[in-house]
């Protein structure tokens, strides 16, 4: 990882964690337990890739620090909600997340469901507040784009396809490469896409700039997912902080089962190069985004 990226990741992660802690306070009232579970699931650990992408692109368009941090926190809240719900027994049934007991293990299932619901709704409350941006049209675009990325055409839809594929996988009727690409584009790609676009929305960047970022995010998101599948097979369990080998055990089709290890690695590298090529409309201001590609390809967790 480049030194510039290392320093920026450290600084931006700390800033977003401070903002998240402010946006999700500890409260003494009876409902304080749901705030506690929200804080538990958002404040410790995680690579903070999505908020980093929001902050790095916001820097390219001279967006105010408060606007960028609030938007980055909203995206991380949606991401953390998805992890909390994904770990539930009715979904992926995982007991560990980010090296700690999953939310429903630390608290209980009902609290984890509520904490996920509350993270999702709080994210939109944060985006809709005037302190996120003075222009209501910008706030409305943020809300609408994040809703589309997280909802049934995006992450939730992708999760549905994934769950159905898992059932079919048991009967050896899993997805092929194009269906799995579409599923991941919905399940993880759309939120990564929003993260790369949010800074441009906040900074009112012109459409061709947004398109370049969208194309970059598309390839980055897919490379991220292929690496995720590779880590599920080859990763170091001590560094992963979650259960490994579940996809294989469930008989699920992954990029690795469909392409094999070597072709999956090649594909991730090619997507990384393609992602960088979409940034040619930018100069130095996109250097962190270029560095992120290497980080995503080389990540160990």
Q: 68 or 75: whose CB is closer to ligand GRG?
A: 75
Torsional sign, CA 299, 96, 12, 222: positive
User: How many chain residues bind ligand GRG (CB under 6 A)?
Assistant: 16
Give the residue from 62, 48, 38, 57 showing the smallest Cα distance to 15: 48
Q: 17 or 203: whose CB is closer to ligand GRG?
A: 17
Dump strand ranges (E) for the chain: 96-97, 100-101
What is the smallest separation between the CB atom of 155 and ligand GRG, expressed in angstroms? 5
| Residue 146 near residue 75 (C-beta atoms within 8 A) | yes
Q: 205 or 288: whose CB is closer to ligand GRG?
A: 288
Length of the chain: 301
Out of 155, 180, 264, 296, point to the residue binding ligand GRG (CB under 6 A): 155
* Binding positions for ligand GRG, 41-70, rule CB under 6 A: 46-47, 49
DSSP 251: T
Interaction between residue 252 and ligand GRG (CB under 6 A): no
| Residue 288 near residue 56 (C-beta atoms within 8 A) | yes
Out of 188, 195, 254, 257, point to the residue binding ligand GRG (CB under 6 A): 188
Beta bridge partners of 103: none
Helix axes 177-184, 155-170, angle to 10 degrees: 140
Q: How far apart are CA 230 and CA 293, in angstroms?
A: 16
Q: 82 or 132: whose CB is closer to ligand GRG?
A: 82
Interaction between residue 85 and ligand GRG (CB under 6 A): yes
Give the residue from 241, 236, 287, 234 showing the smallest Cα distance to 94: 241
What is the smallest separation between the CB atom of 212 and ligand GRG, expressed in angstroms? 23
Interaction between residue 247 and ligand GRG (CB under 6 A): no
Helix axes 190-202, 49-60, angle to 10 degrees: 30
Interaction between residue 148 and ligand GRG (CB under 6 A): no
Torsional sign, CA 293, 206, 214, 23: positive
Site string for ligand GRG, 23-42 (x = CB under 6 A): --------------------
Helix axes 287-298, 207-234, angle to 10 degrees: 20
Interaction between residue 113 and ligand GRG (CB under 6 A): no
Interaction between residue 83 and ligand GRG (CB under 6 A): yes
| Residue 79 near residue 221 (C-beta atoms within 8 A) | no
3-class SS at 129? coil
Q: 79 or 252: whose CB is closer to ligand GRG?
A: 79
Interaction between residue 229 and ligand GRG (CB under 6 A): no
Residue 139: partners with Cβ closer than 8 Å, 6 or more residues away = 127, 128, 129, 130, 132, 133
Out of 42, 73, 132, 159, point to the residue binding ligand GRG (CB under 6 A): 159
Interaction between residue 187 and ligand GRG (CB under 6 A): yes
Using CB under 6 A, which of the segments 52-60, 75-83, 200-208, 273-281 binds ligand GRG? 75-83
Out of 82, 111, 132, 195, point to the residue binding ligand GRG (CB under 6 A): 82
Interaction between residue 156 and ligand GRG (CB under 6 A): yes
Q: Which residues bind ligand GRG (CB under 6 A)?
A: 46-47, 49, 79, 82-83, 85-86, 91, 98, 155-156, 159, 187-188, 228
């Amino acid at each position: 990882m480049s030194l510039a990226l290392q320093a920026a990741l450290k600084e931006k992660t700390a800033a977003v964690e401070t903002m998240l802690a402010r946006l999700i306070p500890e409260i003494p009232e009876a409902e304080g337990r749901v705030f506690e579970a929200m804080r538990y699931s958002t404040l410790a650990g995680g690579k903070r890739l999505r908020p980093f992408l929001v902050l790095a692109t916001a820097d390219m368009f001279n967006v105010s620090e408060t606007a960028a941090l609030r938007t980055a926190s909203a995206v991380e809240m949606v991401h953390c909600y998805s992890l909390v719900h994904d770990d539930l027994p009715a979904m992926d049934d995982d007991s560990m997340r980010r090296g700690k007991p999953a939310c429903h293990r630390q608290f209980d299932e009902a609290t984890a469901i509520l904490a996920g619901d509350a993270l999702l709704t709080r994210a939109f409350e944060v985006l809709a507040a005037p302190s996120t941006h003075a222009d209501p049209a910008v706030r409305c675009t943020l809300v609408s784009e994040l809703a589309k990325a997280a909802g049934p055409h995006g992450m939730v839809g992708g999760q549905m396809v994934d769950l159905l594929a898992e059932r079919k996988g048991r009967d050896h009727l899993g997805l092929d490469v194009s269906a799995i690409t579409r599923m991941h584009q919905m399940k993880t790609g759309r939120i990564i896409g929003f993260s790369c676009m949010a800074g441009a929305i906040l900074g009112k960047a012109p459409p061709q700039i947004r398109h370049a970022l969208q194309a970059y995010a598309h390839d980055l998101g897919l490379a991220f997912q292929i690496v995720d599948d590779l880590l599920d097979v080859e990763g170091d369990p001590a560094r992963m902080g979650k259960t490994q080998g579940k996809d294989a055990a469930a008989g699920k089709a992954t990029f690795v089962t469909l392409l094999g290890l070597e072709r999956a690695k090649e594909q991730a590298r090619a997507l990384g190069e393609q992602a960088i090529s979409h940034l040619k409309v930018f100069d130095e201001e996109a250097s962190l985004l270029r560095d992120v590609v290497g980080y995503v390809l080389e990540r160990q967790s």
